[in-house]
Amino acid sequence: MNQTQHTPSPDLAPNYEDAAGAVGVHEAPAVMELPADLPGTVIAPAHAVSVSGVKFSILSASHAYIDIFPILLATLLWPLRERLGLTEWQVTAVLMISPICSGALQPLFAWLSDRYDSRIGAPLGLLIGALAIGSIGFAQNFWQLLVLQVVGVICTGMYHPIATAQAGQIGASLFRNGRAQAIGLFIGAGMLGTVLGAKLGPGLNASHGMTSLIWLAAPALLIALILHAKLRTHSHMSAPRHQLRASLTRAESKRRWRIISLLASQNAMRFTVQVALQAVIINVWAKSKILADAATLAVPLSEREIAAQASILNGNIVAALTLGMGIGVFLAGRYIPRGSERAPLIWMSLIGAIATALIPFVGNATYSGNPSDHLSLLPVYLCACIGSIGFFATFPIATGLAQRLQPGHTSLVTALMMGVGWAISSVAPLLAILFFAGVSIDLAPELPANRIAIAFVCFAAILIIAGLSTLLIPRDLIAKVADNH
């Protein structure tokens, strides 16, 4: 492989590519020396930093765009139910099948991407996913909605592990804290898109009707073409991956896979809480408040008006929750150093659990009756923001640690940390019904306020369990891989 010279700035460090193309970053002084006989070593010229910056920016922008779509179903749940006459089992089914279809196939897409050294799945998933989910407003019945949603989340699921691996490869050499910071920024861009989706979906539905969601898909083809043009010649294969893989004994490799399994199970628990908050229990709490207010009005609200107002209230809180997710992954990826992940995975879970449990109690005390009264909802927004620390700000540091444990399999590891967790999180609606004392999601808004609040407390307990399980990860192993990038 051709080698060129590169003089790093104080903010940059030399890098190598691993199995999935993610970049390893070695902390180094201003002058570095890499062995000339190391296969696959690339010492980038100065202009390559600028090129990589452009590619990373395009990837991050595409992530912000594609993440507008998966949240639309959750924020429009009540209007869709009223519009299509969905039954309780149909609502539960579409909520459960979305994370299953989004996550279960991610390891396959990641393997195919590595096997054929191709990133085509990222732009293809973006294009088809945007068009499918953007079309849910045209669904005339449950089955049409289900098909559009399933196709959409499969394709957005295809995008994520491929684009995340590419963002890690391209972005790690750009930032001081390496891969974790690059992943944090990339995921943060996606959270920005989710915030926009939570606001744009209900807004478009209220002003122009459900079919206007297709407007959101209008830029998809252009964005997909730009993404493909920038990534199609960027290989993520290199010889050092074989050396990295061969350096581990079979026993050590099995030990590391067990820890990765623990981290993946933690992510599954965290994602379950995320799905419950974004798609179920905040929705239920929001509708319960609208129903309570409607009962005091001289002129009763129609079912459509109740659904629309509940969607706005839910969308505002979910937007705050998602904003906190974006801020959290950026700060965690930037400021939590490699080798110190154990304690933050615990205390971040505990802080997030407390804030999550407080959401309904604070909301019941401060909500003014106007779903757009942001001042009265500010304490609820704050709880939602802080709550996200427990289930999402942990993602870049847990995933970065998992990738360092198996540096020869980072694409597969990323898919396990993302996709498998998303698939398991499909149990969130069933757990919500259990925590609502067996009452269906459709009827749960009619429950007493304290009974609804118990569901938040129960999901907060799941975050505590996820955090405390970190105690099972040996300190010596975390320290051992701290210098792997």
DSSP string, 410-436: HHHHHHIIIIIHHHHGGGHHHHHHHHT
What are the residues whose beta carbons fall under 8 Å from the beta carbon of 253, sequence distance 6 or more? Answer: 406
Give 436's contacts (C-beta < 8 A, 6+ positions apart): 284, 444, 447, 451, 452, 455
Eight-class DSSP state of 367: -
Q: Establish if 104 belongs to a structural domain.
A: yes
Q: Is residue 1 a part of any domain in this protein? A: no
The tens place of each residue's pLDDT in the chain, 485 residues long, gives 444 444 443 333 334 334 334 444 443 333 333 333 333 334 445 555 677 788 889 999 999 999 999 889 888 887 888 889 988 888 888 888 888 888 888 888 877 877 777 778 889 999 999 999 999 999 999 999 999 999 999 999 999 888 887 887 777 777 777 777 888 888 888 888 888 888 899 889 888 989 999 999 999 999 999 988 877 765 554 445 556 666 778 888 899 999 999 999 999 999 999 999 988 999 999 999 999 888 887 778 888 888 888 988 998 998 899 888 888 888 888 888 888 899 999 999 999 999 999 999 999 999 988 888 889 999 999 999 999 999 999 998 898 888 788 877 777 788 888 888 888 988 998 999 999 999 998 899 999 999 999 999 999 999 999 999 999 999 988 888 877 65
Q: Determine, yes or no, domain membership for 414.
A: yes
Helices marked H in 209-337: 220-231, 240-246, 250-275, 282-294, 303-335
Whether 397 contacts 386, CB under 8 Å: no
Rounded-to-integer distance, Cα 333 and Cα 389, Å: 12
Whether the CB-CB separation of 260 and 268 falls below 8 Å is answered with: no
CATH number, residue 21: 1.20.1250.20
Report if residue 23 sits inside a domain: yes
In a domain, 229, yes or no: yes
pLDDT value for 195? 82
Whole-angstrom Cα Rg for the chain: 23
pLDDT given for residue 245 in this prediction: 61
d(CA 414, CA 403): 7
Cβ 231 vs Cβ 159: under 8 Å: no
Domain span at 28: 15-480
Q: Minimal CA–CA distance to 244: which of 21, 473, 477, 6?
A: 21
Q: Please state the domain count of the chain.
A: 1
Q: Does residue 452 sit within a domain?
A: yes
197, 67 Cβ separation under 8 angstroms = yes
**Residue 6 belongs to a domain:** no
Q: Is residue 441 part of a domain?
A: yes
117: left (phi over 0), alpha (psi -120 to 50) or beta: left
